Amino acid sequence: MKIVNYGSINLDHVYQVDHIVQPGETLLAADQNLFCGGKGLNQSIALAKAGAEIFHAGVVGEDGDILLDALRAAKVDITHIRRAPGASAHTVIQVDRKGQNCIIVFSGENMRPSEADIDRVLADFAPGDAVLMQNELFNTPLMMRKAAEKGLAIIFNPSPVSREMLSYPLETVSWFLLNEIEGEALTGETDPGRILDVLAKKFPNGSVVLTLGANGAWAMDRGHRFFQPAFEVQAVDTTAAGDTFTGFFLAGISSGMPIPDALRRAAFASSIAVSRKGAADSIPTAEEVSLAE
């Protein structure tokens, strides 16, 4: 099974702040860094570092060398990334002294994959392969529909949440990978057990991973539920913790690892990611995960 990740590729401008800026407030940042990021790029790198063969599909701008280099260095296949005129998508990220973040994403029109891009990508994949997507890239529902028509398995991380995503063809999704905010957006529920109950009812063919930060993670697959506690760690920067979890979990299950083992490895990998600065840079290798586990 080949996995293609239809995902965002961003330049992250990260500002270290005392607290997340309030409406009307001006805040001095203590530090500023430029990192490679994007939920898509982070998840591809996490999958590759966890040992999966992963193809990335997306768009970068004229300033995208650093992003392509990061993907290439992690051994992600970048054949399906189109180079477009203009600046790559970027983010403004604040990280506070507890390691919590808030993120604004901007991608110009040139960075939007077209229907022709989607058709070109899908031409290289066959029934039985899988497409991973987040909700950060233009034309996500179109990719979902076309991939499902072609018989690809759909793995969806509904992040960031949008109102429009409720009208996506979500019945085609095989795996939902979400946190409690995304779970609430899809179900209207806040309690983790209720989120799983409603998802099971709405999407009987979909399996679920529900991450709860320091409160652990649940997986639900064909009527079975599994719980994984979080590993305790001093958080430095939580950016890409969820992406790391997603990549390690998917790499695990796609290699035939039992769900409880894949959950444990993903939780451990993401605990390492939150102890480091940056997005893609914070993702550990499989060796680091297995040595420290």
Catalytic residues: 243
Query: Per CB under 6 A, which region of 8-16, 148-156, 183-191, 281-289 contacts ligand RIB?
Result: 8-16
With CB under 6 A as the contact rule, which of the stretches 5-13, 142-150, 204-212, 214-222 interacts with ligand RIB?
A: 5-13
| Nearer residue to ligand RIB within complex by CB, 159 or 172 | 159
Beta bridge partners of 130: 3, 153
Site string for ligand RIB, 152-181 (x = CB under 6 A): ------------------------------
**Contacts with ligand RIB in 73-102 (CB under 6 A)?**
91
For residue 123, CA distances in Å to 117, 147, 191 come to: 10, 10, 41
CA distances from 182 to 253, 257, 267, 282 (A): 22, 26, 18, 23
5 lies in the site for ligand RIB, by CB under 6 A: no
Contact 87, 36 (CB under 8 A): no
Runs of H (alpha helix) within the chain:
39-49, 65-73, 115-122, 140-149, 180-187, 192-202, 241-254, 259-274, 286-292
Report if residue 254 touches ligand RIB, rule: CB under 6 A: no
Q: Between 152 and 155, name the residue whose CB sits nearer to ligand RIB.
A: 155
136 is an interface residue for ligand RIB by CB under 6 A = yes
Question: Nearest to residue 40, comparing CAs of 69, 87, 79, 81?
Answer: 81
Q: Which is nearer to ligand RIB, 37 or 252 (CB)?
A: 37
CA distance 98 to 104: 19
12-35 b/e with 16+ CB inside 10 Å = b?
Answer: bebbbbeeeeeeeeeeeeeeeeeb
Task: Please select the residue that binds ligand RIB; options are 118, 154, 263, 279, rule is CB under 6 A.
Answer: 279
Residue of the chain from 239, 246, 254, 270 that contacts ligand RIB (CB under 6 A): 239
Of residues 3, 15, 42, 272, which one binds ligand RIB by CB under 6 A?
42
61: left (phi > 0), else alpha (psi -120 to 50), else beta?
beta
Report the residue number, 61 or 172, with the smaller CB distance to ligand RIB: 61
42 vs 44 by CB, closer to ligand RIB? 42
Query: Residue 59 CA to chain centroid, in angstroms?
Result: 16
* Complete edge-to-edge strand list for the sheet that includes strand 173-179: 77-83, 54-60, 3-6, 130-134, 153-157, 173-179, 207-211, 217-221, 224-228
- 7 touching ligand RIB, by CB under 6 A: no
CB of 219 vs ligand RIB, minimal distance in Å: 20
Nearest distance from residue 241's CB to ligand RIB, in Å? 8
Q: Does 270 bind ligand RIB (CB under 6 A)?
A: no
Query: Measured from the CB atom, is 1 or 104 closer to ligand RIB?
Result: 104
Binding site for ligand RIB (CB under 6 A): 8, 10, 12, 37-39, 42, 91, 103, 105, 136, 239-240, 243, 279
